[in-house]
């Protein structure tokens, strides 16, 4: 049995070790660093199953918890990072082309090492129950994402995405700390449980709500909710594709964990509920409508990620932790799968939907993987995406948010149109070329595993639903 914080320290140690290997073992093939990272993360993943029950509160445990929710999202972060690292191995040629250095391999090693620090940040965030801890771990994630988004220094789009992400993310940080300041000012506490008891005991509502609204702005930015979504399409399009996938899954999941934890003390206030319903409705409508005319697949997935934030927000309004956790797992599987196919296909052309024309005849395997991913994103029955939406709507109806659930169902129909635009291009258009697209064996295995997971969870969702109990 190990103490829970050891997991994060091991992850940070792994990242530092990989950076040292990168710096000193100059002749080592860079790919080895990625494999070492994946193996190290797998070891940490196994270790999450042997975590000792934490002692009752006191000292360090006022900042940090190892409850089932935290452990669940630690595993979530590790799996996401492993899949992103696999994608990065496929993406390395593009990075090499846009980072110039003393050798052709310059920069690739850091590209493999940085996600591990992000992963450590995500894991800490899953456990954070104090505003100070939340702030610091959120910043560990954000600062490492700054570097990753703008990583391709000679690529105009990547740099521009980096600058935009930097500025807008820093603004959201400003809102977060200022909001925390006010919550601290009213309650005199930074620990979430004690903030909750202070709010129940009765506090000055005006300043408390003001602080909470500012914190909601900052978290809305992280989860890409309307009206704080302006950065999403540009940053998603410009960033290196594996980083886009990481942003859309990791950053969003972390945002929702923090949202669930932070909202708990304030949830009984009707103003907060109304605010959340408003944001959810706007996010659902904007994300789905803006995705309709997109022709660039990365941009389409960016708007789709906004739309999914809307469905997840329905779960938040109903405060259904299990439904949100299941949705995030389904979202992880289908988003990573679609980005993995995109990484492979885009290297033969570009990110547009036209590059997928006739893919079913060029590479039936890739086309089928994309079909599964798109069907699940749209919410076709017998895929994980269907149950994700089902549980969220179900929770909303139980809480008598009928109108919200109705808007959700209508926007799902809208989603079918743009997801099946990709499917139509793959199966009904004439191919742009006749050459098959090469897929490495490792990527193939990962894609098959993701497809199986999507279908299995679409038929038998119980294991994930029970993981939180």
Partner 1 sequence: MVTLGDYLVVSGLLFTIGFAGVMLRRNIIIIFMSLELMLNAANLSLVAFSRARLGPNGLPDYNAQVFVFFIITVAAAEVAVGLAIIVALYRARQTTHVEDISTLKF
Choice between 22 and 90, CB closer to partner 1: 22
Min dist. Cβ of residue 403 to partner 1 (A): 32
Choice between 57 and 173, CB closer to partner 1: 173
Min dist. Cβ of residue 161 to partner 1 (A): 7
Q: Which residue has the tokens 């935009």?
A: 164
Q: Would you tell me which residues interact with partner 1 (CB under 8 A)?
A: 131-132, 135-136, 139, 142-143, 146-147, 150, 153-154, 156-157, 159-164, 166-167, 170-171, 173-175, 177-178, 180-182, 184-185, 188-190, 230, 233-234, 237-238
Choice between 121 and 315, CB closer to partner 1: 121
Min dist. Cβ of residue 2 to partner 1 (A): 27
Choice between 237 and 241, CB closer to partner 1: 237
Please state, as a whole number, how many other Cβ atoms lie within 10 Å of the Cβ of residue 382: 12
Q: Which residue has the tokens 């903030």?
A: 195
Q: How far is CA 268 from CA 271, 274, 317, in A?
A: 9, 11, 11
Choice between 139 and 354, CB closer to partner 1: 139
Q: What angle do CA 251, 231, 338 make, to 5 degrees?
A: 55
Min dist. Cβ of residue 99 to partner 1 (A): 11
d(CA 109, CA 332): 25
Min dist. Cβ of residue 405 to partner 1 (A): 32
d(CA 49, CA 1): 9
Min dist. Cβ of residue 302 to partner 1 (A): 11
Choice between 182 and 331, CB closer to partner 1: 182
Q: Which residue has the tokens 């509160």?
A: 57
Min dist. Cβ of residue 262 to partner 1 (A): 16
Helices (H) and strands (E) in the chain, counts: 20, 0
Choice between 119 and 161, CB closer to partner 1: 161
DSSP string, 370-430: HHHHHHHHHT-TTSHHHHHHHHHHHHHHHTT-HHHHHHHHHHHHHHHHHHHHHHHHHHHSP
- Terminal Cα distance for the chain, rounded: 20
Per-residue tokens: 144: 């490492």
Please state, as a whole number, how many other Cβ atoms lie within 10 Å of the Cβ of residue 1: 6
3 state SS of 239:
coil
Choice between 156 and 456, CB closer to partner 1: 156
d(CA 331, CA 280): 17
Min dist. Cβ of residue 261 to partner 1 (A): 17
């Amino acid at each position: 049995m190990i103490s829970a914080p050891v997991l994060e320290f091991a992850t940070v140690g792994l990242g530092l070790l990989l950076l040292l290997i990168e710096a000193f073992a100059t002749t080592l093939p860079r790919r080895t660093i990625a494999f070492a990272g994946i193996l190290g993360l797998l070891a940490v993943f196994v270790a999450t199953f042997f975590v000792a029950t934490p002692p009752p509160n006191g000292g360090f445990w006022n900042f940090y918890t190892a409850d089932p929710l935290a452990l669940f999202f630690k595993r979530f972060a590790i799996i996401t990072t492993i899949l992103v690292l696999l994608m990065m191995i496929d993406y390395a040629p593009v990075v090499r082309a846009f980072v110039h250095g003393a050798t052709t391999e310059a920069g690739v090693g850091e590209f493999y090492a940085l996600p591990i620090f992000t992963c450590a940040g995500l894991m800490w965030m899953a456990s954070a129950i104090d505003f100070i801890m939340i702030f610091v771990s959120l910043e560990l994630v954000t600062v490492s994402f700054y570097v990753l988004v703008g990583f391709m220094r000679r690529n105009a789009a990547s740099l521009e995405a980096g600058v935009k992400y930097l500025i807008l993310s820093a603004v959201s940080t400003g809102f977060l700390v200022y909001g925390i300041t006010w919550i601290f000012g009213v309650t005199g506490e930074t620990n979430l449980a004690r903030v909750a008891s202070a709010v129940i005991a009765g506090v000055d509502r005006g300043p408390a709500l003001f602080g909470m609204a500012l914190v909601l702005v900052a978290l809305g930015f992280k989860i890409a909710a309307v009206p704080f979504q302006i950065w999403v399409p540009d940053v998603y399009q410009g960033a290196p594709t594996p980083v886009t996938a990481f942003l859309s899954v990791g950053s969003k999941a972390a945002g929702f964990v923090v949202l669930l934890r932070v909202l708990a003390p304030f949830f009984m206030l009707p103003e907060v509920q109304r605010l959340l319903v408003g944001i959810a409705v706007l996010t659902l409508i904007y994300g789905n409508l803006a995705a309709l005319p997109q022709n660039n697949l990365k941009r389409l997935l960016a708007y789709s990620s906004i739309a999914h934030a809307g469905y997840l927000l329905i779960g938040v309004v109903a405060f259904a932790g299990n439904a949100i956790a299941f949705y995030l797992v389904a979202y992880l599987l289908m988003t990573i799968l679609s980005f993995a196919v995109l990484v492979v296909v885009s290297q033969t052309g570009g990110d547009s939907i036209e590059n997928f024309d006739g893919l079913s005849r060029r590479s039936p395997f890739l086309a089928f993987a994309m079909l599964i991913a798109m069907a699940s994103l749209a919410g076709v029955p017998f895929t994980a995406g269907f149950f994700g939406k089902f549980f969220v709507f179900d929770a909303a109806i139980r809480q008598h948010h009928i109108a919200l659930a109705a808007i959700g169902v209508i926007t799902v129909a809208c989603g079918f149109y743009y997801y099946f635009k990709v499917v139509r291009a793959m199966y009904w258009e004439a191919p742009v070329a006749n050459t098959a697209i090469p897929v490495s064996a490792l990527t193939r295995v990962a894609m098959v595993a993701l497809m199986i997971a999507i279908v299995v969870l679409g038929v038998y969702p119980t294991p994930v639903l029970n993981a939180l109990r």
